[in-house]
């Protein structure tokens, strides 16, 4: 068989072209970096250099329930503490649909354009049930997420047994060490998360809808009292008039509230997060609040009280975890619970029984 025959045959093997490299070398480098097992020193060095990927990985350690990852996380946090505390921390709250993500994106972009470094964290006590839909949805805050001066951390997608707020509090330390000087804490779920957000931020910003009274806004009593700045969002299109009315209603209602400890009278603004109209004015007010509370020393006092709160909270959480993870306890817990539900055992006696078991067996 000649060579030509071979080429003309249907059975010949085509020489083909050189297969392109299926792995982008840059992505491969990034992948290697992501897969590398990092030491405490690696974490600290990269966090302090503002590396957002490593920051994200360190927050994953904080959120992990594996003891060895927790230990590593604690070492990283400890080393970052000396570089933390220098940011301004703002809680952004309001009922679902009020526009928290849209507002945070508008404010975040406004700030990064001014050269600030903005981190967005979330407190989501319901993350277990909702599978962390909040901020986890990639279409949210797309523009801000793409900004090199911003860091957005989706809330944990479940699996955290409790103390979610504590994890957010620890994540703040790392974000500050990474150089983020404005931290926005988005709350999700109504009630519990506002109180947690209040315990770790310097300013509480409450978003409201135009044309809806307190009852309609689903606000729990006490939330309005926590607000340092209230913002009627969606003040655009047909809503402009309604937003102005809501602003006046809100201001009237606030007149009857006692002056808060900060001495700062709650301010009410309107804005459109979609067009970013009013964002600049809100930022000016945030700065006024910051200067006011720094001058009258409330800022420092509040931070000290928050530290005290987190001191006890951390002890309580650790004791609780140890107790419920103790083998002697887990093996008895369900059984006692069943007896209590059947009315066969008094809850106090059952609890004392378990506590005795725990403390006397140590
Ligand atoms: P969240 O659940 O509080 O985070 O609310 P989102 O930010 O997801 O917003 C809920 C809906 O309100 C979305 O459809 C937004 O586009 C819309 N929205 C948010 N802010 C504004 C605003 O300022 N004006 C208008 N017209 N719509 C807005």
pLDDT tens for the chain, residues 1 to 362: 444 455 555 565 556 666 555 556 666 666 555 667 889 999 999 999 999 999 999 999 998 888 889 899 999 999 999 989 899 999 999 888 899 999 999 999 999 999 999 999 988 765 444 444 444 444 578 899 999 999 999 766 544 445 678 889 999 999 999 999 999 999 876 667 888 899 999 999 999 999 766 555 556 667 888 899 999 999 999 999 999 999 998 898 888 888 899 999 999 999 999 999 999 999 999 999 999 999 999 999 999 999 999 999 989 988 998 899 888 888 899 999 999 999 999 999 999 999 998 888 75
Question: What is the Å distance from ligand 1's center to 98 Cα?
Answer: 6
In a domain, residue 165? The reply is yes
Looking at ligand 1, which residue's alpha carbon is closest to its atom 22?
234
- Based on the fold, state whether residues 31 and 164 are members of the same structural domain: no
Q: What is the pLDDT of residue 337?
A: 94
In a domain, residue 15? The reply is no
Domain count, the chain: 3
Strands 88-93 and 203-208, how do they pair?
parallel
Q: Is the CB of 99 under 6 A from ligand 1?
A: yes
Q: What is the pLDDT of residue 189?
A: 60
Q: Is the CB of 102 under 6 A from ligand 1?
A: yes
In a domain, residue 252? The reply is yes
- Based on the fold, state whether residues 60 and 99 are members of the same structural domain: no
- Based on the fold, state whether residues 185 and 91 are members of the same structural domain: yes
**First vs last C-alpha separation in the chain:** 88
Q: What is the pLDDT of residue 22?
A: 55
Q: What is the pLDDT of residue 66?
A: 85
Q: What is the pLDDT of residue 28?
A: 60
Q: Is the CB of 101 under 6 A from ligand 1?
A: yes
Ligand 1, atom nearest to 271 Cα: 23
Question: What is the Å distance from ligand 1's center to 100 Cα?
Answer: 7
Q: How far is it, in rounded angstroms, from Cα 41 to Cα 44?
A: 5
- Based on the fold, state whether residues 50 and 113 are members of the same structural domain: no
The residue segments making up the domain with residue 353 are 307-361
- Based on the fold, state whether residues 292 and 250 are members of the same structural domain: yes
Q: Which of 95, 102, 189, 206 for a ligand 1 pocket mutation test, highest count of atoms within 8 Å of Cβ? A: 102
Q: Residue 313: what are its φ and ψ, rounded to 5°?
A: -60, -40
- Based on the fold, state whether residues 255 and 137 are members of the same structural domain: yes
Ligand 1, atom nearest to 104 Cα: 7
Q: Is the CB of 89 under 6 A from ligand 1?
A: no
- Based on the fold, state whether residues 311 and 286 are members of the same structural domain: no
Question: What is the Å distance from ligand 1's center to 103 Cα?
Answer: 8
- Based on the fold, state whether residues 39 and 142 are members of the same structural domain: no
Q: Is the CB of 279 under 6 A from ligand 1?
A: no
Q: What is the pLDDT of residue 2?
A: 44
Looking at ligand 1, which residue's alpha carbon is closest to its atom 6?
99
Q: Is the CB of 274 under 6 A from ligand 1?
A: yes
- 141 and 120 Cβ atoms separated by less than 8 Å: yes
- Based on the fold, state whether residues 55 and 154 are members of the same structural domain: no
Q: What is the pLDDT of residue 18?
A: 61
- Based on the fold, state whether residues 109 and 221 are members of the same structural domain: yes
Matching residue, tokens 């001191």: 311
Q: What is the pLDDT of residue 161?
A: 44
Q: What is the pLDDT of residue 1?
A: 43
Distances (CA, A) of 256 to 204, 248, 249, 327: 19, 13, 12, 53
Q: What is the pLDDT of residue 133?
A: 45
- Based on the fold, state whether residues 69 and 114 are members of the same structural domain: no
Q: What is the pLDDT of residue 360?
A: 84
- Based on the fold, state whether residues 99 and 246 are members of the same structural domain: yes
Q: What is the pLDDT of residue 328?
A: 84
CATH for 63: 1.20.5
Q: Is the CB of 234 under 6 A from ligand 1?
A: yes
């Amino acid at each position: 068989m000649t060579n030509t025959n071979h080429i003309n045959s249907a059975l010949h093997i085509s020489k083909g072209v050189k297969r392109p490299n299926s792995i982008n070398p840059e992505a491969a480098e990034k992948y290697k970096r992501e897969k590398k097992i990092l030491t405490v020193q690696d974490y600290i060095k990269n966090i302090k250099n503002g590396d957002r990927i490593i920051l994200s990985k360190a927050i994953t350690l904080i959120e992990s329930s594996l003891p060895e990852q927790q230990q590593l996380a604690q070492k990283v946090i400890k080393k970052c503490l000396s570089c933390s505390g220098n940011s301004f921390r703002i809680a952004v709250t309001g009922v679902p649909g009020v526009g928290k993500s849209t507002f945070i994106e508008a404010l975040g972009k406004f700030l990064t354009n001014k050269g600030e470094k903005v981190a967005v964290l979330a407190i989501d006590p319901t993350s277990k049930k909702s599978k962390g839909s909040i901020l986890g949805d990639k279409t949210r805050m797309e523009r801000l997420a793409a900004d090199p001066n911003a860091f957005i951390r989706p809330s944990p997608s479940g699996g955290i047994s409790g103390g979610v707020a504590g994890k957010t509090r620890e994540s703040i330390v790392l974000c500050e060490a990474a150089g983020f000087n404005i931290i926005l804490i988005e709350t999700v779920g109504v009630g519990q998360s506002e109180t947690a957000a209040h315990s770790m931020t310097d300013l509480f910003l409450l978003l409201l809808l135009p044309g809806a009274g307190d009852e309609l806004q689903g606000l729990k009593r006490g939330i309005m009292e926590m607000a340092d700045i209230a913002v009627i969002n969606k003040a655009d299109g047909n809503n402009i008039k309604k937003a102005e009315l809501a602003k006046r209603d809100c201001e009237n209602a606030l007149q009857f509230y006692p002056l808060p400890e900060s001495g700062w009278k709650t301010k009410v603004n309107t804005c459109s997060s979609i067009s970013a109209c009013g964002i600049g004015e809100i930022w000016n007010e945030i700065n006024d609040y910051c200067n006011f509370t720094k001058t009258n020393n409330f800022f420092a006092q509040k931070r000290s009280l928050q530290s005290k709160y987190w001191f006890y909270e951390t002890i309580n959480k650790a004791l609780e975890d140890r107790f419920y993870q103790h083998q002697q306890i887990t093996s008895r817990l369900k059984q006692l619970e069943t007896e209590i539900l059947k009315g066969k055992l008094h809850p106090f006696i059952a609890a004392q029984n378990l506590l005795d078991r725990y403390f006397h067996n140590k």
